[in-house]
Amino acid sequence: MTTETGRAGEAAPGVLEEAIRRYWPDYAGTPEAGAKGWNNTTRFAEHDGKRYVLRVYETHREADRILFEHEVLLKLAEAELPYRTPVPLRESGGAGQTLVRLEDGSGRYACLFAYIEGMRPADEDTRPMRAFGAAAGRLSRALAAIRPERAPAYRPYYELGEAYPLCGPERVRAFCAEPPAALAGVRAQLGLLAEAHAEILRELDHLRDLPHQLVHGDLNASNLLVDAESPERLVALLDFEFCTRDARAMDLAVILSGLPDDEQAVAAFLEGVAAELRFDAEELEAIPLLMRLRKVDVFLHFLTRYLEGTDGPDVLEEQARSLAEDLVRMRDSEPCRVRSLNALRSDVLR
Do 282 and 249 form a contact (C-beta atoms < 8 A)?
no
Mean pLDDT of 229-247: 95
Per-residue DSSP letter, 24: -
Does pLDDT of 343 surpass 90? no
Q: List, in sequence order, every beta strand (DSSP E) within 153-260.
A: 212-215, 224-226, 234-237, 244-247
Q: 348: Cβ–Cβ under 8 A, 6 or more apart, which residues?
A: 278, 342
Domains and CATH numbers, the chain: 15-114 (3.30.200.20), 129-344 (3.90.1200.10)
- Of the ranges 32-46, 110-124, 301-315, the best mean pLDDT one: 301-315
The pLDDT assigned to 347 comes to 77
Instruction: For the full predicted model, state whether its pTM sits above 0.85.
Output: yes
| Residue 17 neighbours by CB distance under 10 Å | 17
Q: How confident is the model at residue 8 (pLDDT cuts 50, 70, 90)?
A: very low
Burial (CB count <10 Å: 0-12, 13-18, 19+), residue 315: middle
Work out the pLDDT band at 6, boundaries 50, 70, 90: very low
- Is the pLDDT at 92 greater than 90? The verdict is no
Q: Is the pLDDT of residue 5 over 70?
A: no
Of the chain, the percentage scoring pLDDT greater than 70 comes to 93
Residues 319-342 have a mean pLDDT of 93
Round the average pLDDT of the chain to a whole number and report it: 91
pLDDT at 277: 95
Highest mean pLDDT among 120-129, 163-172, 340-349: 163-172
pLDDT at 262: 86
Angle of helix 187-202 relative to helix 313-341, nearest 10 degrees, comes to 50
H/E run at residue 271: helix 263-274
The answer on pLDDT for 288 being more than 70 is: yes
Say which range, 13-17, 38-42, 61-65, 193-197, has the weakest mean pLDDT. Answer: 38-42
Confidence of residue 39 (pLDDT cuts 50, 70, 90): low
